[in-house]
Structure 1
């Protein structure tokens, strides 16, 4: 089974190559590094960082040096993080990983990008009232799709083995923005409807599939207005599949087709450049319908699916992974992320048992989250578990 640790480029920059890679090989004993190449905004606590305890990650920043020629003429372009200065931590990681015989994966957040969303509102999703979700990009927008394809191709010059594609789909209303406020409870249905995209590109794609997109948008607006006006509306929610005479379900299916086609295009670019692309499904099977995640279709479109195995017991990890078979995804097509921290693991034996479960199920890749966010004792726990 292949193993890797997810990390930020700032971990490498703050610690230096020798200490950083020494921890990966000598403490964790993994054979790979999964380094964030584009990441969303965050504020984190770093238990063993020599330069900071609390640090910020810039919104939608790139941690590699984009090739200007490749991005010429494109509206959406990755912006290098200020933290990397004039350097290229991804190039350094590729060099050091190669010297140590380690595989390098690119952990890439594609569509959850505050920076590009605020710079190009027309490329962000629009709800039924036309309000833009500026913290993300819409997978139906042509400029966004060109950005995704080009971003995949950029990684090839670093000798990347696989791209871990995070956020290559739609997001719901509560996906996350600092100081979000919801003082009047709307209920899960209204919140779900507020997270659907009705931008011109999405409506056109749905209409091309025979879906009455305008009729769906009107019905969605009416239901949201009902929830905003009537404080008891959440007690009498309609079934999503009955809205607009059942056409809402077809509209959601059209959104899933948009996501699948974009993932297929991204995977084709990866293949062309000798890389793999795995689609990160953080919520797990059966939970991503409103995000446009159609697991059976995606499993055929990309090189693999990556999911979170966050759970305190090996039995729960087994249940999470086994559930994918119900959606036509064989465990041999999965990569699973485990957390070695104390909130998930009571010790090395617990983590080793989870790894054995994955091995028994035929999962070929395990990754551990997250280098900078865990104690060094958790890194040691990974090494002990892998040796066990």
Structure 2
């Protein structure tokens, strides 16, 4: 089975009915449904929704029947839609392949319930929206989640999102500050110095407590200075910190090792015939994935597949990101691409079709489109046009 996929949510499938949705996907020329098996909160506008246009999903829940015995301290929370039916089970009985999209560690509800396992900044402030990949209980939860869904359902594979550290600017809801942010400040605020990270980094020979104190001091001095870094200067200051501080470099390398080892544990635990792909970053372009702990070639070798979000506004930018990503992978693993055929990315049919062709020209045969419930009908039709052009 190839991978020509549509990303979607259980609530949209349940509303439309799985058979009707699968028929539409088939007419578009697709062969796979990538459905969220675990997800965070949101506020979503659904142009084609028949039971309302704005949807608030239940925060931090799973959309499959999990086996509590597989989990340890952190247990999955079942979404209430499961009381009405098992969408994932229905999909696996259809004539399309079913791939499960798991948001692993970006989970505010579980973070609030397990503060001992969340990311903490240099001041010790908890980031409840992000379970820390260094925390043993968080790692055990992620491994159990992936193995559970692949053992209990005959899915073709899983796509792992948020296996690492979410950047400071991509986190909570209704975020607010009365000062302008910048790359230097956000990157320092986004580093985790929880006890799990500190202990693991120290075992790796890094003086993480000194680094924590230094970063806290630097942030505090900046916030008290009355100075507002211009964007270009802030980016340059961050790059200079990276180049000039060996401890910071080592700490960021350590983070990549933590995420790679977690993905390795997941790959080992998952059913052998199920594919494992990693969505490595929320950053644009994809090269910024390293900050989240995503070592692209290492993850490709460990999981087998990198599923990259080519969320760019033109085919030209998609081509550039693809060229750079392939240069970084240097042949490791398989590469899939995700495109959004709509605003704010590929807002015209011409640009969208050009982006699909750019991926094909670059050797990317497996593609997915995000997201069925969000797309207007005309934009959905573009997907069918693209599949027909590709043959």
Question: TM-score, normalization: structure 1?
Answer: 0.92
Distance in 2, Cα, partners of 1:331 & 1:266: 19
| 1:93 matched to 2:87 | no
SS state of the match for residue 74, structure 2? coil
Distance in 2, Cα, partners of 1:332 & 1:307: 12
Give the direction of change, closer, same or farther, for the CA distance of 1:230–1:75 in structure 2 (3 Å limit).
same
2:177 alignment partner, one of 179, 182, 207: 182
Instruction: Give the superposition deviation at 1:352.
Output: 3.4
Instruction: Give the superposition deviation at 1:250.
Output: 1.0
Q: Is the 8 A contact 1:65 1:87 kept in 2?
A: no
SS state of the match for residue 36, structure 1? strand
Give the direction of change, closer, same or farther, for the CA distance of 1:359–1:331 in structure 2 (3 Å limit).
farther
Deviations 1:115-156, CA, capped at 9 Å, x for gaps: 100000111011111111001100000001111111111122
Q: Is the 8 A contact 1:280 1:306 kept in 2?
A: yes
Count the aligned residue pairs.
379
Instruction: Give the superposition deviation at 1:281.
Output: 2.3
SS state of the match for residue 104, structure 1? strand
Instruction: Give the superposition deviation at 1:353.
Output: 3.2
Extract unaligned runs of 5+ from structure 1.
Answer: none
Distance in 1, Cα, partners of 2:310 & 2:160: 17
Alignment of structure 1 residues 1-388 onto 2, 5 Å? 2-26=3-27, 28-71=28-71, 74-96=72-94, 100=95, 102-156=96-150, 157-185=152-180, 187-232=182-227, 234=229, 237=237, 239-241=240-242, 245-270=245-270, 272-282=271-281, 283=283, 284-330=285-331, 333-341=334-342, 343-345=344-346, 348=349, 350-388=351-389
Large movers: runs of 4+ above 6 Å? none
Question: TM-score, normalization: structure 2?
Answer: 0.91
Distance in 2, Cα, partners of 1:183 & 1:287: 27
Distance in 1, Cα, partners of 2:32 & 2:182: 43
Instruction: Give the superposition deviation at 1:193.
Output: 1.1
Distance in 2, Cα, partners of 1:370 & 1:331: 28
- What's the Cα RMSD here? 2.0
Distance in 1, Cα, partners of 2:4 & 2:291: 31
